[in-house]
Structure 1
Amino acid sequence: MIYPENFEKKIGFTEIRVLIENECISSMGRDEVKSMEFETDCGQIEMLLKQVGEMMLILQYEDYFPSQDFFDLRSELIRIKPEGTYILMEVLPDLRSSVFTLQQILDFFTRTKEGTYPYLRKLSSKVVLEKSIHQKLNLLLTEKGELRDDASEKLMKIRQQIRQKENLAVQRIHEILVEAKKSKLLPSDTEITIRNSRMVLPIPSSGKRQLHGFVHDVSASGQTIFVEPEEVFEINNDIIELKASEKKEIIAILTAFADFLRPHLDDLIEAYTFMGVIDFNRAKARFSISIHSSIPKLQPYSLIQWLGAYHPLLLLKNHAQKKPVVPMDLILNEDQRILIISGPNAGGKSVCLRTAGLLQYMLQCGIPIPVKETSTAGIFWDIFLDIGDEQSIENDLSSYSSHLLNMKFFLKNATSQTLFLIDEMGEGTEPRVGGAIAEAILEKLSQQKAFGVITTHYSNLKSLEGKVEGIVNGAMLFDIHRMQPLYRLQIGKPGSSFAFEIAHILGFPEEVMQLAAEKTGETQLSFDHQILRIEDEKNQLEQKKAELQLADELLTRALKRYQDLYNQLDQSKKEILKKAREEAAELIRQSNRLIEKTIEEIKKSDAERKTTQKLRETLKEFQKVLEEESKELEPRPIHLVKQEINDNKESTNETKPLQVGDWVRIKNLDASGELFSLNGQDAVVIINSVKLNIRADRLEPASKPVFEKKIRGHLLEDINQKLQDFRLTIDVRGNRAEDALAQVNHYIDEAVLLGIKEIRILHGKGNGILRNIIREHLNQHQSVSAFSDETPEKGGSGITLVKIK
């Protein structure tokens, strides 16, 4: 039960309906919004919320979902149910496009993986759509939505005859015009004109007997008559008869199509109803995304456990004005069923109360609400509201009388499944009496196990916590040092009205303040001062607690970072040593192969045994050095080991003259390559694919490196590699918002490190949800100086161009 009748208007839900209705793209969706009702069945509410939640995911993360041609043709389909009726021609183009949209929606859910969007998928699985309907419509209609000439053989023949007659009429009237000009009956500048949809010739009234025909019109002066030549008149009459035949044939075609549709009409009407539900869910989803809604965990009993809750209308308003909005945590359960909120005027008490009522009503209408996902929500059978001025001159009711009538209704109907909301309880009459009545009402409502939120300034109501079961205080926090409301709700303590403090800030005379204090009484002043003192001490404790928590978090992060770095360093060390051992072993193997090959060549050239023995001894010594270094786990840089191998090999080539194809080194430089050509002292060397002209006396023999594995780890080389690998465009399409933002953050960090000043983010167009989320994030990113759409020819609004500081 919802009370009073104008509950939706009072709580702000009427505006929510309008906002959702504005998101609809069809009259079917708007009808669904208008018929949206407060539900009390937990299973039904969960189903409605899950459908919207799935649509939110579709709009945010799917590349495409149909959002056009949602036409409501149900009334026309119902009209053609009787046998012998025909469908209207003007309906066919909309029928074709909307049936195509329906098929696209069904195909979308058919293509998705099993288990994806289960609630909407289940909804779509009930829809039966005959595919031949769209095929038949394509055979009947042109691309422009007109009936095709070949819709039937008879229609084609009729239209061919019409065109022939029309061409003949045009040809004949032109011939008559030419003849009339030659005979000076008509001036040379006379043109054919149209009267009553017929081609006529403007003739001076004095010559009307010289041209036989039918007069269709006379000029205002009476000097000109508009005549359709007799011969053309006959042709046009033939055309009229043919067009009558055409119309008759078109009706026959439309009747036949209606006969074709009739067996499928019930399914088709249900399909259009499904399309309206899809539009409705799409509208709710778009609205929910705009207010950052989520779906709390549902419980089938009375409960409110909202974390980070916002009033949706205030959220939209403040966002438009770029003002912050303070969230609130609200908890009503078996232990604390009734929350009494107190605090200064304009401190946010009424906003908290309205937020509680509006969000609960939205939720039970199947609309996700702006709370954290970790929130939990229950189901109420009734929501009662007493807010605003309900005085009535006609019924001789004062504001307080109206308030009492509402309280009478509350007391009579409230149960453990009721949520009641009372703004400024007890006001409108003498404070002491009003406070006493309010206290009695709350005690009775507590006995009835009802749940509620009330706002008040009355001290006697603030003192009910601890005396009456289920009642808890809540305070709207106030900065007593800056004398500003903080708009934050704190459950567990009463709030002060800060009347004396505000009056003092506003500069009230001291003697007036003193007099007011005396009249207030020591008890009341002491109570307010105690609240102030407790609030101030609690705020200080909260601040200290926050500081300690921050310090603890910083320390925890520092320790974790230290441990991670230690583990990373230890792992890196092991990997480096392992890699060094492997490379050393590989060098040994390659050295063996190379030296053995050299020895073989020496043997073939009948070299001295001493030279061979010397090479073997050098190899053994080198191998021993490598093995010792490997055991010590501190290998030397590989390029030094390679240099030793090269030096050993070069010793065998010291006296060999240079020849084309030899591997040579430029003296005093660590640069070597292949000798490409040699002409006296003029040599050409290829180093790293580059030809270098150089004098031969600057070259010395060298050996080709055993392997050319690059040594990594140097910062410059690493950055160069990153620059080569870096792509100026990142594609985040199809990602969830949090994943996309993480990729964008990493991408921007890389760009900053590499000194890149401009990047592109490819997010796609779709419904613009992912684009808006990314741009909101970029707007706050400290490394971003500006961003904009890419040029239309390069992607337009589907790509965001980002300037890096």
Structure 2
Amino acid sequence: MIYPDNIEPKLGFDKIRTLLKEECQGTMGRELVAQMSFSTDYVEIAKSTEETAEFVKLITLNENPPEGYYLDVSAYLQKAAIENNFLTEAEFADLKNSLTTLYQTVRLIKRQPQEEFPRLRALCAEVEVPYQILEALARVIDDQGRLRSNASPELQKIRQEIIRTQAFLRKRIEQILKNAKSQDYTKDDVEITLREGRMVIPVKTEYRKQVKGIIHDSSATGQTVFIEPEEIIDLNNDIKQLTNQEKREIIRILTALTNEIRPYLGVLTHAYSFLAHIDFVRAKARLAVKMQALNPHFENRPLIKWHKAYHPLLLLSYQKQNKAVVPHTITLDGHKRILLISGPNAGGKSVTLKMTGLVQYMYQCGLLVPMEEGSRMGIFQDIFVDIGDEQSLENDLSTYSSHLTNMKKLLFFGKKSSLCLIDEFGTGTEPQIGAAIAEAILEQLEKQRVFAVITTHYANLKLMAERLPTIVNGAMRFDVENMEPLFQLEMGKPGSSFALEIAKKIGLPKDVLQNAASKVGNEQVEMEKLLRSLEKQNSRLMHQNQEAQNKHRLYEKLVKEYEKAKLDLDTNRKKMLNEAKQEAKLLLKQANQKIEETIRLIKEGQAEKEITKLLRKELAQFQDQTLREEEVELPLETPTEDDTIEGEIGVGDWVRLQGQSSAGEVIELRGKDAVVQVGVLKTTVALKKLLKVNKKAYVNTTATPIRTNIGSNLHERVLHFSPELDLRGKRAEEAQAEVEAFLDEALMLNQKHLRILHGKGNGVLRQVVRDTLRQYKEIRDMKDEHADRGGAGITLVEL
């Protein structure tokens, strides 16, 4: 049951209908929009909303059916059903275009996956589009909606003869007109024209007897007559006769085509009802996309569990203004069935109530609704609305009487499957009596177990909601500091009207406000103070919560940035290592090839002194060339002349090679050797070859490039590399770092067999080593040393 009859304009659904009609392509779809009605059939609602949701998915996948030609051709089909009747060219053109749209739509839907589009696929299952009819129409009617000349051999012959005769006729009459102009029988600027389908020339009235022929017409001023010259009368007659033959052939062709489609009229009628339905569903889907609406989980019971639901009309209006709409989260189920909304005037109570009614009404009409995922939608058998002033002079009803009339309907017919929407409950009469009657009605509605959304200012109703478990208070939030409504619904607490505060802001005299406060009574004043205090506390908590959320989002952002930076560093490190390995391999390969070639040539030359000398010279030249090719620029500062420092070299000191300008930091001492880090590269160098230098000279690097020799460094590192690493006595963290550095250097220098000494102990250091080694995919095998040579205290690594 829907009450009252004008519920749609009260909720704003009439505007939704208008928007839907604007989205329809044809009159058939608009007729279905007009016929759309509130349904209480769960299966019908589910089918309608699921169809719309699937069409929304088509739109988001950019799989839109054709835009135009959703034409209503039902009158044409009825006309074609009569024997000896025929459709005109224009009617066949409409039939062809709409049938093409129908065919393309069915083909588009049928190629979608069954599991994703079951409803739309089911719609197409029984739709038959006679392709032979579409072919016949395309064969006869062109893209401009005219009959093709090759629709029949006879028509083609007639039209060719018409064209030939018209060309000859035009040539003759142009010559006649030219002669008439030369003799001043006609004006210089006139052209050939048509009268009654025959070619004529305009002639000055005084010279009409000079041009022999038939006068067909005269100008409005009488100064010109239109004469068909005698020489072309027969040609005009011929064209007239050919034109009549063309009309008779066209009628014959159209009659035959009408006869061809007549057996398919039943199939076509069903297909066009599908096209109308698709236009209707398409309009609902397009409106849903504009509202960002969805199809929430639907349950066959009274239920409202909406997460961030929007008022549809407000949402569309604010979109045009680039303004944000405040959504509402509402829950009414078997435990909490009645929502009592209170708060200041112009705070959004009525808008929230109407939103509830409009969204529920829309869904039960088969439309999608604007709310977020996770929402749940129920079904109601009745919707009762008491909104606005129903004062009527004709029925002698006051505002309050109309409210009571609506309440009578609710009390007589309201049940547990009913949704009641009551705005400004109990107003319109003396406040104390109105509040008492409202409380009594609310108690009865609660006993009838109806679902309801009610707006009120009455304190006794708010207290009743706190007392009864099935009624929940809801407050429209208010900015106490700025005295402005926030239009946010908060369920679980009553709202204050802020009447005195608003009056104070408007500027009412202070003594008037004090007098009003004294008349309210202590209990009411204390309650209002409590509500204001709660509102302030709630605002503070929400502000703190918002700050915490912002900090959490910032933290997550920083974590993601850190993880990305770490991944980039790891990727670049591995890339540099791989590139260095490849360069080292290539360099060693070229050097070995050159040495082998030199040895072979020396042997073949039987160690002749001159040949050997020459080959050694070539080898030296190859070495110089290779070293020059491997030179790269490093952005390190050129040291000053007095940058060396006296004293022993220790970990953390800055050093450089004798005769070199590149400097690095000592990160480890190994007996007579030191591990030096230059930029991202590490190298082991004999201490006697290093000079201790001033650190300040190298803290800030400049763009001045110095040259170093990668080939020389690699060669030296290969010579000094030890395939054995001793970790005994190291802590786990130190051991892991040393193993990683050891493996990196071994991979760079193309080493194959390594030994790592970690001792047996309690097995912790051995486990750290093995776990670190497993991170390298370049390791072919790892195992314990032979029992006679250390066993489980040594790990052998094969690269």
1:214-253 aligned within 5 A: 214-219=214-219, 224-230=224-230, 232-253=232-253
1:555-570 aligned within 5 A: none
Partner of 2:276: 276
1:187-206 aligned within 5 A: 192-203=192-203
1:283-298 aligned within 5 A: 283-298=283-298
- Alignment CA distance shift 1:164-1:481 (3 Å): closer
Aligned mates of 1:14, 1:182 — CA distance in 2:
72
Partner of 2:499: 499
Check conservation: 2:598, 2:619, Cα contact below 8 A.
no
Aligned mates of 2:576, 2:619 — CA distance in 1:
39
2:96 partner amino acid? R
Aligned mates of 2:542, 2:177 — CA distance in 1:
100
Partner of 1:430: 430
Larger deviation, residues 184-193 vs 88-97: 184-193
Q: Percent identity?
A: 43
Partner of 2:102: 102
What is the CA RMSD across the aligned residues, in angstroms?
3.9
Partner of 1:537: 537
1:348 aligns with 2:368: no
Bigger Rg over Cα: 2
Check conservation: 1:71, 1:94, Cα contact below 8 A.
yes
Aligned mates of 2:629, 2:179 — CA distance in 1:
106
- Alignment CA distance shift 1:344-1:170 (3 Å): same
Aligned mates of 2:624, 2:581 — CA distance in 1:
31
1:280 CA drift (Å): 2.1
Aligned mates of 1:188, 1:535 — CA distance in 2:
91
- Alignment CA distance shift 1:668-1:394 (3 Å): closer
Check conservation: 2:187, 2:204, Cα contact below 8 A.
no
1:85-96 aligned within 5 A: 85-96=85-96
1:327 aligns with 2:327: yes
1:527 CA drift (Å): 1.6
Partner of 1:144: 144
1:34 aligns with 2:10: no
Aligned mates of 1:63, 1:604 — CA distance in 2:
78
- Alignment CA distance shift 1:515-1:206 (3 Å): closer
1:575 CA drift (Å): 10
Check conservation: 1:39, 1:45, Cα contact below 8 A.
yes
Aligned mates of 2:174, 2:540 — CA distance in 1:
100
Partner of 1:361: 361
Aligned mates of 2:579, 2:182 — CA distance in 1:
106
1:364-763 aligned within 5 A: 364-547=364-547, 599-607=599-607, 653=616, 663=625, 665-666=627-628
1:283 CA drift (Å): 2.0
1:337 CA drift (Å): 0.5
1:430 CA drift (Å): 0.7
Aligned mates of 2:564, 2:206 — CA distance in 1:
110
- Alignment CA distance shift 1:480-1:187 (3 Å): closer
- Alignment CA distance shift 1:652-1:124 (3 Å): farther
Q: What SS does the aligned partner of 1:334 have?
A: coil
Partner of 2:61: 61
- Alignment CA distance shift 1:594-1:13 (3 Å): farther
Once the two structures are superposed, residues 28-70 of structure 1 have per-residue CA deviations (whole angstroms, 9 ceiling, x without a partner) of: 2222222222122222222222222222222223265421233
1:483 partner amino acid? M
Instruction: Structure 2: give runs of 5+ residues left out of the alignment.
Output: 634-708, 716-799
- Alignment CA distance shift 1:582-1:171 (3 Å): closer
Check conservation: 1:446, 1:468, Cα contact below 8 A.
no
Check conservation: 2:203, 2:226, Cα contact below 8 A.
yes
1:584 CA drift (Å): 8.3
Once the two structures are superposed, residues 12-39 of structure 1 have per-residue CA deviations (whole angstroms, 9 ceiling, x without a partner) of: 1111111222122222222222222212
Q: What SS does the aligned partner of 2:465 have?
A: coil
Aligned mates of 1:72, 1:85 — CA distance in 2:
19
- Alignment CA distance shift 1:395-1:254 (3 Å): same
Larger deviation, residues 116-125 vs 189-198: 189-198
- Alignment CA distance shift 1:209-1:305 (3 Å): same
Check conservation: 2:114, 2:121, Cα contact below 8 A.
no
2:166 partner amino acid? E
Q: What SS does the aligned partner of 1:481 have?
A: coil
1:105 partner amino acid? T
Once the two structures are superposed, residues 430-481 of structure 1 have per-residue CA deviations (whole angstroms, 9 ceiling, x without a partner) of: 1111111111111111111111101010111111124335111000011112
1:313 partner amino acid? L
Partner of 1:129: 129
Once the two structures are superposed, residues 708-744 of structure 1 have per-residue CA deviations (whole angstroms, 9 ceiling, x without a partner) of: xxxxxxxxxxxxxxxxxxxxxxxxxxxxxxxxxxxxx
1:201 CA drift (Å): 4.1
Aligned mates of 2:115, 2:193 — CA distance in 1:
68
Partner of 1:317: 317
Check conservation: 2:298, 2:377, Cα contact below 8 A.
yes
Instruction: Structure 1: give runs of 5+ residues left out of the alignment.
Output: 613-649, 672-699, 707-805
Larger deviation, residues 245-254 vs 585-594: 585-594
1:126 CA drift (Å): 2.5
Larger deviation, residues 394-403 vs 439-448: 439-448
1:432 partner amino acid? Q
1:515 CA drift (Å): 0.8
Check conservation: 2:127, 2:274, Cα contact below 8 A.
yes
Aligned mates of 1:124, 1:413 — CA distance in 2:
41
Q: What SS does the aligned partner of 1:473 have?
A: strand
Larger deviation, residues 335-344 vs 103-112: 103-112
1:77 CA drift (Å): 1.6
Check conservation: 1:400, 1:428, Cα contact below 8 A.
yes
Aligned mates of 2:467, 2:586 — CA distance in 1:
85
Q: What SS does the aligned partner of 1:465 have?
A: helix
1:545 CA drift (Å): 4.8
- Alignment CA distance shift 1:666-1:145 (3 Å): same
1:285 CA drift (Å): 1.9
Check conservation: 1:411, 1:444, Cα contact below 8 A.
yes
Aligned mates of 1:186, 1:542 — CA distance in 2:
92
1:158 aligns with 2:158: yes
Check conservation: 2:594, 2:619, Cα contact below 8 A.
no
Q: What SS does the aligned partner of 1:325 have?
A: coil
Check conservation: 1:109, 1:124, Cα contact below 8 A.
yes
1:594 CA drift (Å): 6.9
Aligned mates of 2:158, 2:418 — CA distance in 1:
72
- Alignment CA distance shift 1:340-1:604 (3 Å): same
Aligned mates of 1:593, 1:376 — CA distance in 2:
77
2:473 partner amino acid? N
Q: What SS does the aligned partner of 1:505 have?
A: helix
1:161-200 aligned within 5 A: 161-174=161-174, 192-200=192-200
Partner of 1:257: 257
Check conservation: 1:473, 1:491, Cα contact below 8 A.
yes
Aligned mates of 1:429, 1:651 — CA distance in 2:
123
Aligned mates of 1:60, 1:396 — CA distance in 2:
54
1:79 aligns with 2:76: no
1:669 CA drift (Å): 5.2
Aligned mates of 1:211, 1:654 — CA distance in 2:
115
Check conservation: 1:446, 1:469, Cα contact below 8 A.
no
